[in-house]
Amino acid sequence: MFAKHRPPEILEIRVHGVLNTPPAEMLQTTPDKISRRTGDELGSFWVRTDDAPAQGIATTEAFSWGAQARTGGGALAVIGRVLVHLGWFLLLPYALANLAYWTRSIGSQKNAGAQTWDGGPGAATVRVFGLVLTLIAVAAFSSVAIDLIAIQCFPQEVQVCAALPPVFDGLRELSRDGRAALLGVAPIAAVVILYVIGRRGRVRFEEPVKRFGAGLGDTPDEEGLPLLATRGFWSVSRVGQTSEWLHVAASIALVLFVLCLDSAYVRVPGCWRESSAITLDCLGAAFQEPLPASFALGALVLLVGAVVLVVISSHTSTGAGTAVKRGLAMACLVLAGSGYVAWLILALTRHTPQSDAHPGFLGLVATPIALIVLAFFLALAGVIWKARAGIGRRILSAALLVVGAAALLTTHLDPAIWGSTGADWRPWLVGIAAACVVAHLVNGWTIRGDRRFEAWRGQGATVAMMLALFASMALSSLLVLGVAAFLGTPAGSAPIVDIWRTPLPPPPAALWNVPDAYERFAVVLACIVGVLIALIVAVLAFNLSRFVRYSLPALDQKDGAADTAEKIRQRGGVLVPARRDYAPRLRMPTPDVARPVGVRRSSHLLHRGEPLFGWLAVLAAMGFFSLSSSFVYEQVKALVVSWNMVPASIRGGTTAILVAVALAAAGAVAAHAASSSERPLGVFWDVVAFFPRAGHPFAPPCFGERAVPELSARIRAWLADPAAKRSRSVILTAHSMGSTIAAATVLSMRGEMIGEGRDHGSRSADHLALLSYGSQLRAYFSRFFPSVFGPEILGVPGVRGPSLWRRDPWRQQVLAEFEASSLPAPGQVDQLSLTAMLGAHARSVPRWRNLWRRTDYLGFPVYAYRSNPVDRGATESVRDSYLTQIGTHSGYLGTPQFLLARAELVTAIDEGAP
């Protein structure tokens, strides 16, 4: 006689996304009817107090993985949230540098338990780029604290900047070197604060993820192993104390270098900053002052040593080598700190002249420009980081970039160096640099390979680094120019007549000068903003000029009624698009149709971010090349003067634009923080903060390091419960970024066996199912991070990028799918893709369903736009209380399609249960 089949006990875990949905809302009840089952204020699992089995689900929990800022109330909570969001915004350059690390082609690791991490081509370069970003910030703080305040604000023994508070008056008693060395502590303190913030986040989340990574045991060597299933990804890839110490040491060494460089030249006539050109006489004159020259050389050696150690540390491991690298990093830090303290003591006792014929600080004349050039060419190196790039191509590109950077830096030497012929070689040097850049790009772009399914055709690392440099210079320029404008305010009040004020003229350059790099970037930024505004206006005008019919997914209904092509047409869409006229114009829609059609159109405007960021990176690259050459900048300046435009007015206008852009960005972040509990910049911030800090130690803390271990631990506890009487399973219902966390969790449990309980000895993945909605897994993550979430890892077909100018930005992908005779089958190689782990290796349809709608500005199909085994359409009309509204990125829970998709997964789990 056969035993009666007993369906498995199913736990549904709901995971919120970018909207940071509160647990009560996820559980579709009120806050007073939920209780916390486990966890703390950082990550917790919640359940309804009236929870009861229903529709095949034994119990439902809500996983809240964000910091619980939303639980606070009142003005202080809002103010605190605004300050926190603005603080995170300042870390944007480092977040982008970390993003660049993970956009590269990273090969599979040796096995799941390997205690080493092979970062692949470009890992060392990204980390050196991150170090240069830190030094750019240090140079900006030094320009303010040392150049503007310590030097230019104290031109004479009895004079001080009128705008400087009286508390600084006592600095008049110090010598030039002493005042500069004392205020040089400020940029070092800024980096130390970043170090403390980074270390706090690392210590707070590192131990749990280390334990999680240690649970990924050794396995036989395998090909194509998902990175998310390896100990290296979770426990070894990140930067730690070694990199943190090296960044602090290099920062101290840079400040020490510029201080000593200035001191070495202070008594040399003519070696001042009226021109950014450097002469051979000045280069050799420094050794007339052996003490500061020796300190400067020592600081330069420490800077080079820090770079070398960063390169060596790019191949990380947990063995004895880590202790050696950490010891060398600490030695650099101790030497840099000791050298600075020694110089500070000497500077406070040395007597140097208070002023000279010209103001300014020589140590910061060329330093910002040199750092920009280095960062720019390091970013360009990302073009060659591709899977099929041979060693010959990489060596050629490295040589081209070195020659190009050297040529561009050489343009800052005085033309007289080239001899008495009077010939100016700088145009030729600029031409050589440009030719090297073009040759490098051709070398990288001609590498064979299909990169249609990768963001920016496989140039993600270069784009991310260029944007990081752009953000870093924007923040640095805002700091320097803002403080310079404040301190350079003339004394006295402006004349006022009636309601009009006559502004006082700015101080002449002979009295008040700002490092060239920041003024040049303000001009570049103004040009970029102008071009981007024109581009965005053109895109908006083109795409908002008419209503169009997008392809719409068929909707499943509870009564089983088919969603026909005619019904979809009545909703303002098409079921099967035709190449000749897709997307066709929708003329004279009725009001009930025009409303969702308009939301679809506006939502798809946000889908065009990828090409827009690509254009921004291209414009930034062109701008950095031009501002990095003194010759190009001088030629442009001369052209402007020939148009009867005063350079001072251009400087003032571009500075005003820079301040306006910064205020707009800060205002948007502050308003966003005050009105909601989301992280700054929404989904973009969640994307950059998901990955471990492998590219920069001061990047935002990785929430994935906390969320994935906690979610996997809860799944493991449910499946391995010794008290279980029946087989157990878990359905992860995940929204938006929650689907990324859920996918990472499933992949991280690859090969894991249930340790005890009713299902002892079976694979954990065989008891899992996934219901995602509003997901970006395929459209964004698989394209931006092909080595971590690529199509072959998800087990889904690849997706082409969006277009700026097509009515449907995904037109090319949509038509390719509908014109194909059939879609590729889900990835079925056992345990090597998400779909295979969710059952596609045993049957053609995995235990994965995804809901999406055309009105969702952040939600996409994860398999295809046409009918497929995974994706399901979701209704665009959702009920909010007693009203009906158009659903966008939220409003999936409780829809008929959500309930039907979950029921499908319950049935699939039941059919596969023992």
Segment 293-312 shows an average pLDDT of 93
Coil, strand, or helix at residue 731? Answer: strand
248 CB burial (10 A radius; 0-12, 13-18, 19+): buried
Backbone φ and ψ for 448, nearest 5 degrees, come out as -70, 150
- What pLDDT shows up at residue 866? 94
Q: What is the DSSP string of 80-144?
A: HHHHHHHHHHHTHHHHHHHHHHHHS--PPPS-TT-SEE---TTHHHHHHHHHHHHHHHHHHHHII
Cα 153 to chain centroid, rounded: 37
Asked whether the beta carbons of 650 and 523 are under 8 A apart, the reply is yes
**What is the distance in angstroms between the CA of the first residue and the CA of the last residue of the chain?**
17
- What pLDDT shows up at residue 414? 63
- pLDDT top residue among 647 and 561: 561
Comparing 74-78, 171-175, 631-635, which segment has the lowest mean pLDDT? 74-78
Residue with tokens 């009840």: 29
Asked whether the beta carbons of 620 and 469 are under 8 A apart, the reply is yes
Asked whether the beta carbons of 383 and 394 are under 8 A apart, the reply is no
pTM of the full structure:
0.91
How confident is the model over 21-60, as pLDDT tens digits?
889 999 999 999 999 998 877 788 999 999 888 888 999 9
Backbone φ and ψ for 590, nearest 5 degrees, come out as -70, 160
Q: Is the pLDDT of residue 418 over 80?
A: no
User: How confident is the prediction for the chain on average, in pLDDT?
Assistant: 83
Distances (CA, A) of 153 to 171, 254, 358, 482: 10, 22, 13, 15
For CA atoms 359, 363, 369, 372, give the dihedral sign. Answer: negative
- pLDDT top residue among 398 and 389: 398
- Cβ contacts of 787 within 8 Å, gap of 6 or more: 102, 104, 105, 106, 107, 120, 227
Q: Is the pLDDT of residue 681 over 70?
A: no
Comparing 87-101, 427-441, 450-464, which segment has the lowest mean pLDDT? 87-101
Q: Is the pLDDT of residue 616 over 80?
A: yes
- What pLDDT shows up at residue 680? 47
Peptide bond into 638 cis (omega under 30): no
- What pLDDT shows up at residue 794? 95
Write the DSSP symbol of residue 384.
G
Six token digits for residue 484: 């310079």
- pLDDT top residue among 199 and 299: 299
Q: How confident is the model at residue 70 (pLDDT cuts 50, 70, 90)?
A: very low
Segment 610-632 shows an average pLDDT of 89
User: How far is 902 from 867, CA to CA, in rounded Å?
Assistant: 18
- What pLDDT shows up at residue 469? 96
Segment 221-231 shows an average pLDDT of 75
- What pLDDT shows up at residue 433? 93
Q: How confident is the model at residue 856 (pLDDT cuts 50, 70, 90)?
A: very high
Q: Which helix (H) or strand (E) holds 61?
A: strand 59-64
Buried b vs exposed e over 339-365: b needs ≥16 C-beta within 10 Å?
bbeebbebbeebebebebeebbbbbbb
Asked whether the beta carbons of 130 and 696 are under 8 A apart, the reply is yes
Coil, strand, or helix at residue 769? Answer: strand
